[in-house]
Amino acid sequence: QVQLQESGPGLVKPSQTLSLTCTVSGGSISSGGYYWSWIRQHPGKGLEWIGYIYYSGSTYYNPSLKSRVTISVDTSKNQFSLKLSSVTAADTAVYYCARDRVVGQQLVPASFDYWGQGTLVTVSS
C-alpha cells in the first residue's frame, strides 16, 4: 500500500520561502508511471494544483504559480519537495502531496490515486 506523508513548517513568515517534503513509502518514486504532485486547498475552498515532477526530474507547474514554485525529487530518499517563494497570506492553505497516474505514450496525467493527509501552512508574521 502506497503512503505519502507531508512534512515541514506549519508557520511561515510573509516574503519567506515555504518548504515542504513528501515522503513516499510502499512504492518507489523511481519506478516510473506516475507524476508526483503538490496540490493545495485554501480554507473552505476548492483544490488547486501546484505542479508535479517525474522521477527523471521533469517538472510541470501551474502557470499562475510558476514564477514562485520549485519542485524537486530525491530518489535516494524516495522523497519529493516543494518550495514556494515570496509567500503572502494568500498562500495560507492545506498542502497535499499526491501520486498522479500517467497514461499513454505522451505521459498524460490521469488520476490522483494516493494522497497524503495534508499539512496546514499558515503565512503570518
Partner 1 sequence: QSVLTQPPSVSAAPGQKVTISCSGSSSNIGNNYVSWYQQLPGTAPKLLIYDNNKRPSGIPDRFSGSKSGTSATLGITGLQTGDEADYYCGTWDSSLSARVFGTGTKVTVL
Q: Which residues bind partner 1 (CB under 8 A)?
A: 37, 46-49, 52, 60, 62-64, 96, 100-101, 103, 108-113, 115-118
Cα(121)–Cα(59) distance, integer angstroms: 23
Report in angstroms how near the CB of residue 13 gets to partner 1 at its nearest: 26
Residue at 70: amino acid letter: T
Within 10 angstroms of residue 1's Cβ, the number of other Cβ atoms is 6
Report in angstroms how near the CB of residue 84 gets to partner 1 at its nearest: 16
Cα(52)–Cα(104) distance, integer angstroms: 17
* 63-71 long-range Cβ contacts below 8 angstroms, 24+ apart: 71/36, 71/38
Report in angstroms how near the CB of residue 123 gets to partner 1 at its nearest: 20
